[in-house]
Each structure stands twice: as structure tokens, then as C-alpha cells.
Amino acid sequence: MLVLKFSAQDVARTRLAISPLWEVVTSVQTLKEPRRHAPHLRWVERSQQQLRQQRVSMELLSALVPVPSYYIPDFLTPVPATAAPTIEDELAVLVATTPEEVRADLHRMKRPLAPELGAMYSDPVGGLNQLATEIRSYWERVLAAYWPRMQRLLDGEILYRARTMVQDGAAGLFADLHPQISWRDDTLTVAHPWYEATRQLTNGRGLVLVPSVFAWPGVFSQTNPPGQPGLVYPARGVGAVWQVGLGPVPKGLARVLGNSRALLLSELGMPASTTELASHLKMSAANVSHHLTTLREAGLVRAFRTGHSVLYVRTAVADELLTTSLEE
């Protein structure tokens, strides 16, 4: 069990971020234990085939991500320094790891070290460059095509958490992150089965919350000083990333809102733009825009800007309406 003690300054500096590199690490775990990650089986089947057909080399990456994972080297899972780093941003941090840090992290891994890890211990600089090459190849083959959809889901999760923080403060923010996570007074408890530690967050650095697609069903922490501590948890609605085709449209809700608006709500479990919705639902962009405006005015849809795009996502009220309608 991990116990994190917060000061008022730590609460004030707690933030959210996305990490492509964490998705690489947790997706490798998913490939190794697909039965434990049922929502991702569609991705697993496609990716295993891709990796076999293209003979992607990932021996070092695989050796650094054991299952079950009592420990994954900290240099492979850095806490994001910015809100939305690219995979190249995080690889730059990776290859800048000092030889001393690499060897210290490898010392924490289970002995004896695999041959690939022994070679990395002997030549940390060469090992880091090889690792970065493997990660780039892996990313391009099995994650890059899905990243826009994954990122929209994660953007929606961050929007949801930010809204919860505004409404309910830190208690609301931490309340339903994960069944293993609980908040009471000034203390966050993470029920790790293989880890026991108590940490007083220092210098008011706060905590970085990192929602993840592939972390499901687990939760991961990064608390070794001197870096800012991080907590990786499963984003809401991860199964929606791999969905193909239209979601169910509750008949009762369609009678009240109209079929088009009910259909739009059923599709907005993860953020999407007007153009994407129009293409997917075979509707005109103007018609989609009109319905989204109506749903937004009714408090059922919320819009937010990310980069040059405006994305829409269901509100909590709409989630409740859909859940209730589907249960009838």
C-alpha cells in the first residue's frame, strides 16, 4: 500500500497530463497478458498480427516490462513534464537519462537480469538508443494509427476531472479515480498489492494524474525522488476506443429527443468533432452542428477546444439518461 501525504500547496499544484510513453509500456503489458485486459482484445489481435508480419524488434522493451510487474524502471516511465507531450518529447527525456540512473533502476529489477538488460547495464547509452529505436518502431506499427482516438478519450477524461475538481474540490477529484485509490483528509491511499511505502509530498510539488487507455484494470505510481510524483489510472470508457459501428440508441430517449439527437448522444462517450460525427453517422455537418447546439443548450453536451479542433462530449446528465434508458 502506498500512502501519500498532501500539504495545501500539493493540492494546489496537482495537475493532469497525458503520456504516450506510458501507453507504450502498459500496452506491452496488455500484449503479454491479454486475458487480463478484456476491453483491448480487438487491439491485441490486430497488433500481434502486425508485429509478427513486420518482424518488429522489441526484445529490450519487452525485457524492461515484465509481467507481473512488481517494478518497471523509472527511466522508462517518466512523469510527464507538460500536459500533452508527444512520443518524441518523451523519448528525448528517455535518452537523456544518465548512466547512473539507468544502472540504479536496473538494480531494482528481479535478478538475474535478462541478457538484454545485462547488455544495457554494461552500456547504458547504447541501450537507451536501442530502446528508443524499438519504441519508435513499436509505436508506428501498433499505436500511431489509434493515437488520435486515444487522445480524444484522454482529453475527455481530463475535461471531466477538471470539471469535478471545480465542483467538488480535491475530494471529488480523487473520489472515483480507481477502486484501489481513496482520499481522506490530507491523505491519498493507493492499495498496491506488492508495495508498501509512505511518502510526504515535498516542496509543494503536488501530484501528476495521468489517465491512460491501457492501464486498465490496474493503477501505477511513480514516487521516487527527486522528480514530481505521478499516478497513472484507467480513463473512463476505455472500451469505446476500439468500438466499430454505431452504439445502441435507447428507444425511449429517441422518442423524447428525436432519433438523430439520441444517436449523437450515444456516440459521444468519447470526444468527437462535428466532422467526425457527420462522417461516422452519415449526416451533413450542418445537421450535426444544429443538433449539437440544441444538446449543448439543454446541458447534455459540452464543447471544448483542443488545438485547432472543437470536440464534443456527453455531460454527466446525458450519461445518466443513457444508462437509465438502456436499463429499461
**Residue-level pLDDT at 307:** 61
Please write the tens of the pLDDT for every residue from 167-181: 888 888 888 899 999
Please write the tens of the pLDDT for every residue from 210-249: 999 999 889 999 887 667 899 999 998 887 777 654 456 7
- pTM for the whole thing? 0.78
Please write the tens of the pLDDT for every residue from 130-156: 999 999 999 999 999 889 889 888 988
Residues 48 and 124 in one domain: yes
Of 206-220, 244-258, 268-282, 300-314, least confident by mean pLDDT is: 244-258
Nearest-angstrom CA–CA distance, 52 and 49: 5
Contact 211, 164 (CB under 8 A): no
Here the CATH number for the domain that contains residue 310 is: 1.10.10.10
Mean pLDDT of 195-221: 87
Nearest-angstrom CA–CA distance, 305 and 307: 6
Nearest-angstrom CA–CA distance, 67 and 246: 35
Nearest-angstrom CA–CA distance, 318 and 313: 10
**Residue-level pLDDT at 135:** 98
Query: How is residue 28 written as a grid cell?
Result: 506491452
More confident residue, 111 or 235: 235
Residues spanned by the domain of 130:
20-147
Q: Which of 94, 122, 147 is the last residue of a domain?
A: 147
Nearest-angstrom CA–CA distance, 162 and 172: 10
Q: Which of 190, 211, 237 is the last residue of a domain?
A: 237
Residues 266 and 302 in one domain: yes
Q: Which of 112, 129, 147 is the last residue of a domain?
A: 147
Residues 222 and 262 in one domain: no
